[in-house]
Chain A
Amino acid sequence: MNKENIAVEMRGITKRFPGIVANDSISFKVKQGEIHALLGENGAGKSTLMNVLFGLYQPEEGDILINGEVVKITNPNMANELGIGMVHQHFMLVEPFTVVQNIILGIEPRSGLIIDQSKAIKKINEISEQYGLDIDPHATIKDISVGMQQRVEILKTLYRGADILIFDEPSAVLTPQEIVELMKIFRNLIKEGKTIILITHKLKEIMEVSDNVTIIRRGKVIDSVSVETTNPDELAAKMVGRKVSFSVEKEPAQVKEKILNVNKVSAENSRGVLALNELSLDIHAGEILGIAGVDGNGQSELIEVLTGLRKVSSGEITLHGSKLQTLNPRQISEQKVGHIPEDRHKRGLILDFSVSENMVLKNYYQPRFNKNGFLKFDEIDQYSIDLIEQFDVRTPSHKTPARALSGGNQQKAIIAREVDSDPDLLIAGQPTRGLDVGAIEFIHKKLIEQRDKGKAVLLISLELDELLNVSDRIAVIYEGEIVGIVDPKETDEKELGLMMSGGKINQRGKEQ
């Protein structure tokens, strides 16, 4: 056996948490200079395994070999010394600091008592150029895009001399264009002899950049295969444990009467800048209207004005022909508008409440659950147990805090709550963000079910695949305006991408 070119080997790694075995005797090898993907559903144990490798967790059993040597990694500093760097899903950056300050944090080059930034800047510029990262070392973190922030994280690991880079769901927070850029960076890194371990559940990325893939399901290795010899269907089946259909099956839409009319609505964002600029659109019963756009073009504000969470500065919104913009969130919800929030942790759930308590977040006050100011907890529990079963929310119990559930199951709980209220209009903000194939399939099915029941669905998403597959019409939003509405059957990612970045040719000229 050729020991030299195995960069990382994990042998029989077992990591237990109270009540579960997160990693059950996991073994796999990563060759030097390859991109090795770790594929698995949310909660399958990928992140735990990588946290073990990075020294954040100690395994109960098993060995780790780096470049053929058995090592014991008890903290991230040791991992750094061994040349392992990790880019976390949630960035570990100090927002008011500059790029340089973040990169040197903890290993500041000093001359006397003063931090010598110039030395660091020189090194950062060198690395940045070598790997095509293209970053301004003096920019402040909070002013740069998420994609750039991720590059800072990559630079941080490279600056510390990492040869093995772990990426935890790196594309989850990126726009389609940024993902393309990231793939380029991956290839540059490999070209320079680095090794990459990529944690993901996005099959497309794996097929595009990886050399080998290890599939993990419920804490166990299912298979390790070369990407050349496999295909997305096979990988998905291995990951989920059953066959998964990618193409969303649906009948043609039976479009009926107009449900919602948005007429020249303007609104400011939280910083007082115009976020919606005389935006107009209609949604009908029996259709799914998708909203495509680069993040930050007014999608969040649109959802907020429609659900009463943000005031309209001008224009009119009517639901079933009656005014909506003067109503508060509860009144709107009582007008049969359901809302799956973009950020399930910020808005969708109270994470420290039990699943049960979360299930009645919108209707706890109704006579069904409330008598003379006292909540009927038996009733609430029964209702939650029913929903949990109906929507297949995997939770140890209805009394478990929502925080303990995986992302997919948290989202299922929200969807259960919103769909069960039988809304005439369902507003879904990035409903599949960060979820795995199985959960995405489930959510798409539910959205189409609503449509087929004659309800209207507004789907706001950053995933073009999703919009193209699920929507009946796609409206493209750019700088707070709808720049065009297209039929998903007659368009493609290219055309959408063009519209999303400014639409018409003359506008693009103006930008430059």
Chain B
Amino acid sequence: MKTLSRWLLKESIIIPLISVFVGLLIGAIIMLFGGYNPVEAYQALFKKAFGNIYGIGETIRTITPLIFTGLAVAFAFRTGLFNIGAEGQFIMGSLAAAYVGIMLDLPAIIHMPLAVIVGGVVGGLWGGIAGYLKASRGVHEVITTIMLNWIALYLSNYLIREYLIEKGQQKSVTLAESSWLSFAFLTDMFNNARIHFGILIALLCAVVFYVILQKMKQGYELRSVGLNPHAAEYAGINVKGNIVKAMVVSGMFAGLGGAVEVLGVTHNVIILPAFQGYGFDGIAVALLGGNTAFGSIVGAFLFGFLSFGATGMKLGAGVPFEIINIVIALVIYFVASRLIFKRLLNALNVNKQEEQ
């Protein structure tokens, strides 16, 4: 019990908790101003997300792609790179997985893993382009990844229209069932929620993230390059090679996310009128999670829970989506500016010491 309370009082735990709380609190004030009942709204939020087995399944479904893109952004960040391109890598991953799912006819035991892997590889290559341009030409990855997002969007739309389109529709034909990550028994178990086994792959990716960075020689090199490229060069580490590798791994996480979303939820790819935002949400998720593997899971959980539960606030308490988005933004804002709370906490501690 004592260790639990100590763990909860740890700075790395308590500060995000306070941040979330303050975010919700200010969100409540805004709702009051708007003439809505915040208690009712938050109740509806929780009820929607966790109130029944269907809600839980759908919440997990919402969280899954965010874990992937969160890991992608966090991994790049830990190696000193700012990957704004998770969105494009996600799209390329979906497209590649859809292609494998539609074009090949294989037994499920091969088809599904192959589709997942191809999605990850293509996402990785897409990220690798930005890495290569940075390493060989010094082009900043923020610029290239943003441009690659647009290229991915229109390339994907073009390829779907040319090769995968279902006649008369704005989407591809449905993937062969042998490539699906969703299974009837699971869907039934969660009362028809679109939960799928992608969540397990996401959690596995978080483990891979941790193992590569913290346990492996490769991760030591990646972190060295990220934290101090001059010292890494001095130590004989290939700085340029590691920049490319870092972007490949980062893109791979996002690409897997795209693949899993297609194979588990949509079972087709659509002609996108605009970005879906998974990659951009990934930036927020990574930020919320302090760019760690575990943090990305927690960040994705918070983000996914709020955005899925938001529909509950609309239905249950009549709060319009605009206000719900403000609440979500506030929570993220306060978690992101946790330094404020850290300072506050430190000041409180000093006062306490002085009193003693």
A contacts, CB < 8 Å to B: 60, 307, 309, 328-331, 333, 339, 341, 346-353, 357, 361-362, 364-365, 370, 373-375, 377
What is the chain A residue whose CB lies nearest that of B219? A375
Residue contact A370 to B217, C-beta cutoff 8 Å: yes
User: A309-B234, A374-B216 provided; 17 other pairs, C-beta below 8 A?
Assistant: A307-B234, A329-B234, A329-B235, A329-B236, A333-B236, A341-B234, A347-B230, A347-B233, A351-B227, A351-B228, A361-B235, A370-B217, A374-B215, A374-B217, A375-B215, A375-B216, A375-B220
What is the chain B residue whose CB lies nearest that of A60? B354
Give 4 closest A-B pairs by Cβ, nearest first.
Answer: A330-B236, A347-B234, A329-B236, A361-B235
What is the chain B residue whose CB lies nearest that of A330? B236
- On whether A309 and B233 interact (CB within 8 A), knowing A350-B228, A373-B218, A374-B215, the answer reads yes
B contacts, CB < 8 Å to A: 215-218, 220, 223-224, 227-228, 230-237, 354
* Cα–Cα, bound, A375→B223 (Å): 14
* Cα–Cα, bound, A42→B224 (Å): 27
Q: A350: which B residues are within 8 A, CB to CB?
A: 223-224, 227-228, 231-232
Distance in angstroms from B245 CB to nearest chain A CB is 13
Residue contact A346 to B231, C-beta cutoff 8 Å: yes
Q: A365: which B residues are within 8 A, CB to CB?
A: 217
* Cα–Cα, bound, A348→B224 (Å): 12
Distance in angstroms from A303 CB to nearest chain B CB is 11
What is the chain B residue whose CB lies nearest that of A349? B231
Q: B237: which A residues are within 8 A, CB to CB?
A: 330
- On whether A353 and B227 interact (CB within 8 A), knowing A328-B236, A361-B235, the answer reads yes
Distance in angstroms from B227 CB to nearest chain A CB is 5
Q: B235: which A residues are within 8 A, CB to CB?
A: 329-330, 361-362
Q: B354: which A residues are within 8 A, CB to CB?
A: 60
What is the chain B residue whose CB lies nearest that of A16? B353
* Cα–Cα, bound, A347→B224 (Å): 11
* Cα–Cα, bound, A312→B223 (Å): 29
* Cα–Cα, bound, A436→B227 (Å): 28
* Cα–Cα, bound, A32→B223 (Å): 52
What is the chain B residue whose CB lies nearest that of A352? B227
Residue contact B217 to A375, C-beta cutoff 8 Å: yes
* Cα–Cα, bound, A329→B229 (Å): 14
Q: A346: which B residues are within 8 A, CB to CB?
A: 228, 230-231
Q: B217: which A residues are within 8 A, CB to CB?
A: 364-365, 370, 373-375
Q: B232: which A residues are within 8 A, CB to CB?
A: 350
Q: B224: which A residues are within 8 A, CB to CB?
A: 350, 353, 361
* Cα–Cα, bound, A352→B229 (Å): 13
Q: A339: which B residues are within 8 A, CB to CB?
A: 234
* Cα–Cα, bound, A329→B234 (Å): 7
Q: A60: which B residues are within 8 A, CB to CB?
A: 354
Distance in angstroms from A62 CB to nearest chain B CB is 14
Q: B236: which A residues are within 8 A, CB to CB?
A: 328-331, 333, 362
Q: B228: which A residues are within 8 A, CB to CB?
A: 346, 349-352
Q: A373: which B residues are within 8 A, CB to CB?
A: 216-218
11 residue pairs of the A-B complex, CB under 8 angstroms, read A60-B354, A309-B234, A328-B236, A330-B235, A330-B236, A346-B228, A348-B231, A350-B224, A351-B227, A370-B217, A374-B216
Residue contact B216 to A347, C-beta cutoff 8 Å: no
- On whether A347 and B215 interact (CB within 8 A), knowing A60-B354, A361-B224, the answer reads no
What is the chain B residue whose CB lies nearest that of A331? B236
* Cα–Cα, bound, A348→B233 (Å): 10
Distance in angstroms from A217 CB to nearest chain B CB is 25
* Cα–Cα, bound, A324→B223 (Å): 29
Distance in angstroms from A20 CB to nearest chain B CB is 14
Distance in angstroms from B96 CB to nearest chain A CB is 27
* Cα–Cα, bound, A60→B356 (Å): 12
What is the chain B residue whose CB lies nearest that of A343? B230
* Cα–Cα, bound, A364→B235 (Å): 10
Q: A341: which B residues are within 8 A, CB to CB?
A: 234
Residue contact A347 to B231, C-beta cutoff 8 Å: yes
Q: A333: which B residues are within 8 A, CB to CB?
A: 236
* Cα–Cα, bound, A362→B236 (Å): 7
Q: A361: which B residues are within 8 A, CB to CB?
A: 224, 231, 234-235
Q: Name the residue in B216, B227, B228, B233 with the highest tally of chain A Cβ atoms < 10 Å from its Cβ.
A: B228
* Cα–Cα, bound, A374→B227 (Å): 20
What is the chain A residue whose CB lies nearest that of B237? A330
Q: Name the residue in B223, B227, B236, B354 with the highest tally of chain A Cβ atoms < 10 Å from its Cβ.
A: B236
* Cα–Cα, bound, A250→B290 (Å): 53
* Cα–Cα, bound, A370→B219 (Å): 12
* Cα–Cα, bound, A154→B220 (Å): 44
* Cα–Cα, bound, A236→B195 (Å): 72
Q: B216: which A residues are within 8 A, CB to CB?
A: 373-375
